[in-house]
Chain A
Amino acid sequence: MKPGPLSDYSPSAEPPLRSIWAVIGIVLAVVLVIGGLAFVGAMVLAVAGMNHWASNK
């Protein structure tokens, strides 16, 4: 039986939608860095990158 979302099944491949949001985040970060806001760009990059992982803060 195919496990549904949020079951204890852990997929081996990254869901494609998750990667799309990460890519958009990276593009936004690059735009901010080019626009002179390097720190904000770095934060966007870091946040977009770590949003796949479990975190409570």
Chain B
Amino acid sequence: MIRRIRLVVLVARPAVIILLAMFAGVGLAQAGHAADKALLARTLVAVTGFLLFSVACNDLADERIDRVNLPGRRPLVTGAASRREFTIIGVTAGATALAASATLRWPAVIVMACGLALSAGYSLRPVRLADRGAVASVVLPACYVAVPYLTGIFAARAFVRPDEVFLLAGLYLGFIGRILLKDFRDVRGDALFGKRTFLVRHGRRWTCAFSACCWLAGTVVLLTAVPRATAVLAVAEAGCLTGAMALLAALSRPRGARRDEALITAIAIIGRGMILLLLAHLSMVCAGWSAFRYDAVIGMLGIVTAGQAASMVRHGPITRRMIPVEDQLAAHREILVGSSSSGLTSSRADPETAGPT
């Protein structure tokens, strides 16, 4: 039982679930129900089910690619779970997402059903949008942004206003700019298995340039659409955008996989910080916080985001200690022949071969 619970937590991917929860919170706050805990709980159950379904589909479909890109980091690849278990998790999560969304307003069920269908089509054959380059970069953010955001809005009421759609467009554009960068990590396996991602097709510089355009457009649209935007919020968001642009410029020059990973993670930190700023803004406006407290929180959030991104660029991410199978076998061989050296401290990334061309 504990093993299965642990498996579900692994499948949920904590970083992604936090992101989707923030989008759902933004939707709920946008609809004026930031403090409604019951609505929030039901929305989060639906969104969690949606994510588990999406990840189960993706991991089942990408098992071979993940063996190359993410050795030892996916439950299906490590053998921690069987394909049958993943199928059960996926079906149960999909049904839970639909059932939870049915407790909200009726459009939430339609959004969830469309999201589940789109997510399945993204990963599974014969549709398999993941192999279609630009289409994949457009569809995946739609799943990750629109489904939780609209579920959050439709948790509170059965209609969506034009300015809320405009805000969704801003979030969506910004997320496209970030999701394009995920392909840097996966470039080896993607190229090997013919997955024609934007990076594989157009290379590093064009990917960074296109990402920068999406970041810029997304931030402008977001600041235009956000209700009761303040100067402090605009300065904080613009500062985050400037930082992201500088990091993208650095990423456009190849300097090894370890540096790429640090830069992309720093960009992701800034992206999360921008959504958090928006969520805090909407929630504080909804709760009627004073201008002083509002400015202090937004300012601190901006500073923490900038500090963590700068720290990430300087030090890189914390490295998981893991031993690739090849290194374990090499170590065993060395022990058997009496060698004193071993490869037991290998990190997970190959710095030279993982970088795209």
Please report the C-alpha to C-alpha distance between residue A14 and residue B40 in the assembled complex, in whole angstroms: 35
Shortest Cβ distance from residue B50 to the other chain A in the assembled complex, whole angstroms:
15
Interface flags for B1-42 (1: CB within 8 Å of A; 0: not) read 000000000000011101101100100000000110100100
Let me know if B351 and A8 touch, CB within 8 A.
yes
| Interface size in chain A (residues, C-beta < 8 A) | 37
| B314 interfacial contact with A, CB 8 Å | yes
Q: Nearest residue in B to A52 (C-beta to C-beta)?
A: B318
Interface residue range, chain B: 35 or more
1-45 of chain A: CB within 8 A of chain B: 5-8, 10-11, 14-15, 17-18, 20-22, 24-25, 28, 31-32, 35-40, 43-44
Let me know if A6 and B262 touch, CB within 8 A.
yes
Please report the C-alpha to C-alpha distance between residue A43 and residue B256 in the assembled complex, in whole angstroms: 32
Let me know if A43 and B21 touch, CB within 8 A.
yes
Let me know if A54 and B276 touch, CB within 8 A.
no
Chain B, interface SS category: helix
Q: Nearest residue in B to A24 (C-beta to C-beta)?
A: B304
Please report the C-alpha to C-alpha distance between residue A14 and residue B18 in the assembled complex, in whole angstroms: 23
Q: B268: which of A28, A38, A44, A55 is its contact (CB, 8 Å)?
A: A55
**With a CB–CB cut-off of 8 A, which chain A residues contact B280?**
32, 37, 40, 44
Let me know if A56 and B283 touch, CB within 8 A.
no
Shortest Cβ distance from residue B139 to the other chain A in the assembled complex, whole angstroms:
15
Residues of B within 8 A of A (CB): 14-16, 18-19, 21-22, 25, 34-35, 37, 40, 144, 178-179, 181-182, 184-185, 256, 258-259, 261-262, 264-265, 268-269, 271-273, 276, 279-280, 283-284, 287, 289, 293, 297, 300-301, 303-304, 307-308, 311-312, 314-319, 321, 347, 349, 351
Beyond the given pairs A6-B256, A21-B308, A57-B182, 15 more chain A to chain B contacts, judged by CB atoms under 8 angstroms and listed by A's residue number, are: A6-B258, A6-B259, A7-B258, A8-B258, A14-B318, A17-B315, A25-B308, A37-B34, A43-B21, A44-B301, A51-B272, A54-B261, A55-B15, A56-B264, A56-B268
